[in-house]
Amino acid sequence: MSSPTFLLVDGHSLAFRSYYAFAKNRDGGLKNSQGVPTSICFGFLRSLLDTIEAQTPQAVAIALRSLLRGNVSISSSR
């Protein structure tokens, strides 16, 4: 029996990579019918879902850096 796998994702890094992976084409990246850029959403979710399918982790966490300055507390209510 294999040990459980935990997937930890650097969300900002994956978003940055996803944007520039599609922005290099001459049209400037993926856009919806209203012209709103969608490269980040498409690339982020595609990479995440491909990795989850390949690795089959028991749990997934996505870490994002906060734009807040100073003391930041995170609370969880269940």
Residues 39-59: tens digit of each pLDDT: 889 899 999 999 999 999 999
Maximal CA-CA distance, the chain: 50
Mean pLDDT of the chain: 82
- Predicted local confidence at residue 74, as pLDDT: 56
When pLDDT is averaged across residues 7-30 and rounded to a whole number, the result is 83
Task: Please check the confidence at residue 7 and state whether its pLDDT lies above 70.
Answer: yes
Query: Chain centroid to CA 12: how far?
Result: 7
- Predicted local confidence at residue 78, as pLDDT: 44
Q: Identify the DSSP state of 37.
A: B
Sequence-ordered alpha helix ranges (H) in 1-78: 11-23, 39-55
